Amino acid sequence: MEWHGYTGNILNVNLTDNKISITKENLEDLRQFIGGMGMNCKLFAERFKPNIDPLSAENLIIIGTGPLVGTATPGASRTVGISRFPATGAIANSCGSMSFGFQLKHAGFDHVIISGSAEAPVYLLIWDDHIEICDARQLWGSDIVETHDALIKKYDSCGTIAIGQAGENLVFSSLTLIDRTSTFGRGGLAAIMGSKNLKAIVAKGSKGISIAHPKEFNKLYNNLFERIRNYPHRESWHELGMLRSLPVGMMLKASGQKKKARQCTDRFYLNKLKKRRIACPSCPMGDKDILELKEGDFTGLINYTSSVINPFLMFIFEGLKSYTEAIKTFDLINRYGLDSLTMVSLLEFCNKLYKKGIFTKENTGIEWSADVNTFIQLIEMITHRQGFGDILADGWNKLAETYDDIGEEMLVVKGLDVIFEPRFLHLGTMEFEQVVNPKGAHVASGGSPTYVGAGSSKDKFIAHFKRMGIPESAIKRLFSPPFPEMIINVGRLTRYSEDWYTVLTSLGLCARAQMNRFWGLESASEFYNAITGIEISPEDLRMAAERTWNLMKIMNMKEGFSRKDDKFPKEWFKPLKFGVNELEFIDFFGEIKITHDIANQLLDDYYDERGWDNENGLPTQDKIKELGLEKYL
């Protein structure tokens, strides 16, 4: 058959046997799972063995992208990776952007399945029909930026997924970067690559992507691009990127850190840091950053990041005093391939325990001082698994096992540190979804109106709900929370936020607010039909997302996960000191304080909305049969 949107090809690479093969995709599978995240889950479910060591040769890495990627569709650049992650033991997807997915599609592949482990360091080259497992011994020991630059020099225009020294040393909080810029794989994907002696994956393609109905696609494209072009805040997105949506300076000022706050303002960024903006293929927003230090001890340092807010958030660590220290430490973390959010949370937690006298020089080997030098020393020790750093390299669970009575103080869900703090942000879907997601706390938790800021207007919420494709019958339940003080039931809404996120990620569309806002379930299906020629309805698309989420849950059920693991951190139920204020754990609109009983009721409602068993938090037999997933049990 002639493929449109899809390439129809799956690349299979066995690093142990040095074998490469290509298999064809099945059209019915694509109808059921769409692509990207959906097909990743389907391919993994057919091949994985439960309860294996995530860092063993038996663990798989599947990387793929959706049917809209590789076309001119605005914001279609997502790459998705699935594996069993070492930090949590869960099977989960991670997403990133930049050019890798585009290049993979143009090379002729929708998905890459990587198995086994190489005897010596290698990188995988995918260059149109030329597929090769290449010697990477000269790259081993290089950081991510050095690795990317070397591969770009050799292959010119290409997309890269690379690991740094942290991944080589199997650090649980290690991640990969796509094109040295976009984070990919929170929870240890880089460690999985390191365990396979896989330094990098390079994709370069020139084949192009066929579109089934070009005239219809052009009409859809022109209408969508015109909406984006006329968006009144587009220029400010171009100027500020993600800093526009998360004013870190205001947060720091509210916490009483005025000196730091002044270094995170829009004006400071524009005058002191911004070198230029970069964009993913087909993105009309250009929300990635290239930063340059123009003064201080690190003058001339160039940093590539998905957003300037990432290094600004480093200021959470007490010991970092200036923006130059924040950029320097963030750049070091990026180059080594560590998770910057985890590093800040982990080291700030250690700082807290030092102040309490729980950690000392005697039991850690560290002469502790809350400054940039201690921070850098610990980053080096974690990356290279030296001394106390070897414990931290194995993550939060190892830290809790090593030191008694500190586990309950950790802001951790399923082995990953909390990203969205509900005592500061209130309990929206982003915060709630960290608890129920198989992966645990992560940065891609279900976006929804509570994320993009629809406000308290019921009409605005309903407009967003319809855009996301939430059925009318469900909307009534969302506005019927179990407690009269609440306006909306976040537990029930989270199910549809997850489904909407899955639609976007399966198609390959950006989920960030500045692009997400222009898409709806109906328009997504129209683009899909025009590009692929495979006619599906909006409801088919939503059902495919629900099927994907349930399949991911079934796989994690086999790993032993259930409701017992969907736990709200105990610290959330205590006041959070923020400047002169104490912040409580309250619902999204601030109408009611969240207690353990209310939290459990919201969990009940989430499971009920998913059609899962409330007792164990798992899909029921009826739900599995409804979605046609019986063969995966």
**Residue 553 maps to a domain:** no
User: Using CA atoms, how far apart are residues 221 and 476, in angstroms rounded to an integer?
Assistant: 34
Picking from 365, 386, 407, the residue at the C-terminal end of a domain is: 407
Residue 419 CA to residue 3 CA, distance in Å, equals: 40
Residues 42 and 174 in one domain: yes
Q: What are phi and psi of 44, to 5 degrees?
A: -70, -40
Within this chain, do residues 273 and 298 fall inside the same structural domain, yes or no? yes
Task: Give the chain's residues under pLDDT 70.
Answer: 445-456
Per-residue pLDDT at 225: 95
pLDDT > 70: what percent of the chain? Answer: 98
**Are 187 and 140 part of one and the same domain?**
yes
Establish if 251 belongs to a structural domain.
Answer: no
Identify whether residues 302 and 402 lie together within a single domain: no
Q: What is the pLDDT of residue 404?
A: 84
Asked if residue 180 and residue 311 are part of one domain, the reply reads no
CA separation for the pair 438, 80 (Å, rounded): 16
Residues 158, 43: one domain? Answer: yes
Candidates 203, 174, 180, 189; CA nearest to 112 is 203
Same domain, 324 and 361: no
Say if 234 falls within a structural domain. Answer: no
Domain around 23:
9-204
Final residue before a domain boundary, out of 204, 221, 246 = 204
Same domain, 110 and 54: yes
Question: Is residue 4 in a domain?
Answer: no
Largest CA-CA distance found in the chain, in angstroms, rounded? 71
Q: Is residue 613 part of a domain?
A: no
Count: domains in the chain: 3
- pTM confidence score: 0.96
Q: Which residue, among 481, 496, 497, has the nearest Cα to 589 in the 3D structure?
A: 481
545-573 pLDDT per residue, tens: 999 999 999 999 999 999 999 999 999 99
Inside any domain, residue 301:
yes
> Which residue type is seen at 160?
T
Domain match, 67 and 149 both? yes
- Same domain, residue pair 68 and 169: yes
Considering the domain architecture, whether residues 35 and 154 belong to the same structural domain is answered as yes
455: left (phi over 0), alpha (psi -120 to 50) or beta: left
pLDDT of residue 456: 59
Instruction: State the CATH number of the domain containing residue 72.
Output: 3.60.9.10
Q: What is the pLDDT of residue 454?
A: 45
DSSP codes joined into one string, 282-336: T-SS--EEEEE--SSTTTT-EEEES-THHHHGGGGSTT--SHHHHHHHHHHHHHH
Looking at the fold, whether 149 and 14 belong to one and the same domain comes out as yes
Q: Quick check: is 591 in a domain?
A: no
Q: Token digits for 336?
A: 């080594």
Query: For residue 389, what is the domain's CATH number?
Result: 1.10.569.10
> Number of helices (H) and strands (E), helices first, in the chain?
29, 19
Residue 526: left if φ>0, alpha if ψ -120 to 50, beta else—which one? Answer: alpha
Nearest to residue 518, comparing CAs of 153, 224, 84?
224
- Whether 214 is in a domain gets the answer no
CB 188 within 8 A of CB 85: yes
CA distances from 571 to 356, 422, 536, 567, 595 (A): 17, 11, 45, 11, 12
Supply the pLDDT for residue 190.
Answer: 98
**Closest C-alpha among 201, 208, 267 to residue 239:** 267
Query: For residues 607-625, b (16+ Cβ closer than 10 Å) or e, as one string?
Result: bebbbbbeeebbbeeebbe
**Helix H segments across 479-595?**
490-507, 513-516, 521-532, 538-558
Which one of 296, 316, 332 terminates a domain? 332
pLDDT in tens, 470-518: 999 999 999 888 888 888 899 999 999 999 999 999 999 998 878 888 9
